[in-house]
Structure 1
Amino acid sequence: MSGLRRLLSRKVSIEAMLEFAMWLAIPYLVVGIVWTFFNADDVARIETRLETKIPAGSDLGAFGATTALWPFLIFGHEVCAP
């Protein structure tokens, strides 16, 4: 417990925290893009839902949503399909 307390008492700059977050985002987005390319049916399903809300950018929105939300899509679309 004292090791955790010592770790949390360190001063860290906002610059270092942002850099750490960006380094973590790179593998997350790479895995998301790979997931999107191998699961095109998920993109098509989300695109059909978005066509009524944003007709001009539904394809780009579906690609971005699938790339960003890939951990939720691992469990299957049956979990959150209405």
Structure 2
Amino acid sequence: MLRRILSRRVSVEAMLEFAMWLALPYLTIGLVWAFFDAEQVHLIDAALRNRIPAGSDVGAFVLTAASWPARVFGFDLCVG
């Protein structure tokens, strides 16, 4: 059965569409998570302020939104 599924020809367009449909809930959950986890955003912002002073707040929000699965399992993002 797996061989039959893997032998199907799939276009690049279909693969990109599938990836975008998978990314939509991931990003939505990540943005909601980052909105409610303001303390983590602030900690990452403080660590990034020396490296990218003009965009550390946006970078911290994006990093927090992207790393939400690790935070669910209790891992802290170490930006140092």
The reply to whether TM is greater than 0.5 is yes
Q: What SS does the aligned partner of 1:55 have? A: coil
Q: Name the larger-Rg structure.
A: 1
What is the percentage of aligned positions where both structures have the same residue? 57
C-alpha separation between the residues in 2 aligned to 1:43 and 1:9? 44
Residue segments in structure 2 that go unaligned for 5+ positions in a row:
none
- Quote the residue 1:50 is aligned against: 48
Output the TM-score relative to the length of structure 2.
Answer: 0.91
Residue 76 of structure 1: CA displacement? 3.3
What TM-score comes out, normalization by structure 1 length?
0.89
> How many pairs align?
79
> Which stretches of structure 1, 4 residues or more, deviate above 6 A after TM superposition?
none
Give 1:25-36 correspondences, 5 Å limit: 25-36=23-34
In the alignment, does 2:22 pair up with 1:24?
yes
From 6, 10, 14, give the equivalent of 2:8. Answer: 10
